[in-house]
Structure 1
Amino acid sequence: MTTAREVMHFGVECLSVDETLTTAAERMAALDVGAMPVCEGERLRGIITDRDIVVKVIAQGRDPSEFTAGSLIGSGPVWTAQTDTDVDEILHDMIEHKIRRVPVLEDDRLVGIISQADLAANLPDDKVGELVEAVSSTAH
């Protein structure tokens, strides 16, 4: 069994719920990432993507400096995994819920994140293909 701890990116940075979307975009650019978790203290509240900022704010003619990271996170559940979760279970959740990234928790603290690329490097091609097909049809 391969676990989340074995495939995740460690040391993931979090945006504060009250950071502006301008700051969020700058941090994403500096880190060369397309998504970042949003936290309140040490508690994970959601994930926002560069696409969220563009589609929900900039494309609507709004100023990203007037919105916070917390304003873009949804009210629905955040799909997470524990460090000891089997990657097959994570893959199943990503396919079922059409998600591209899964934050990894340990003792309710965010310790890492798993992306499609992380799974692609650690799973057979047929499983990865199923994931890519599922999340590409309707990305969250």
Structure 2
Amino acid sequence: MAQHVRDIMTSRLVTVEPQTSVTAAAQKMRDEDIGIVLVCEGDELRGVVSDRDLVIRSLAEGGDQEKRTVASACSADLFTLTPDEDLDTAVQMMREHAVRRIPVVDQGHPVGIVSIGDLAIERDPRSALGGISAAEPNE
């Protein structure tokens, strides 16, 4: 059984710069079949923007989405895990902050993302969430 975040995190990162339009970020999420992108300047993590952030902080506000940047839709509180932290810490952080995904950083640089689905697959693969998380995405 995995013990550390590094054992279950997704290491394929999708990033955008803060000045990227929310439309471009949404298209990237669609094309990559993901629900979150990391907002980076160079290799420094500056924030995250999720599909929900785009709806609540951008689309619902109206206006020209091509002119609105991901910087305006980012989650205000940025918290992260390190690859060496144990999985209980990840669970506790997700509960405390009511989030489904947390960026993983090593010496300040993003190296992965751990999701509630990753934890469900590891901890209880026969659960409904574990099964859904392990399934192929809908087309």
Common fold by TM > 0.5: yes
**Is the CA contact (8 Å cut-off) linking 2:57 and 2:72 kept in structure 1?**
no
User: How many residue pairs align between the two structures?
Assistant: 126
1:89 pairs with 2:89: yes
Name the structure 2 match of 1:66: 67
Q: Which residue identity is paired with 2:82?
A: Q
Secondary structure in 2 matching 1:81: coil
Q: In angstroms, what is the RMSD of aligned CA positions? A: 1.9
Partner of 1:42: 43
Distance in 2 separating the partners of 1:63 and 1:54: 13
Q: Is the contact made by 2:49 and 2:75 (CA closer than 8 Å) also made in structure 1?
A: no
Between Structure 1 and Structure 2, the one with more helix by share is: 1
TM-score, structure 1 as length reference: 0.82
Secondary structure of the residue aligned to 1:104 is: strand
Q: Does the CA-based 8 Å contact 1:35-1:47 persist in structure 2?
A: yes
Give the match for residue 80 of structure 1.
80
Could you tell me which residue of structure 2 aligns to residue 16 of structure 1?
17
Offset at residue 8 of structure 1 (A): 0.3
Unaligned runs of 5+ in 1: 130-140
Q: Which amino acid aligns with 1:17?
A: P
Give the gaps of 5 or more residues in structure 2.
130-139
- Equivalent position of 2:7 in the other structure: 6
Letter in 2 for 1:86: D
Moved over 4 A (4+): none
User: Which whole-Å CA distance do the structure 1 matches of 2:122 and 2:57 have between them?
Assistant: 33
Checking the alignment, whether the CA contact within 8 Å between 1:9 and 1:112 is kept in structure 2 is yes
Task: Name the counterpart of 2:99.
Answer: 99
Deviations 1:41-99 (A, max 9, x none): 211111111222222222222221111111212443x1211111101111111111111
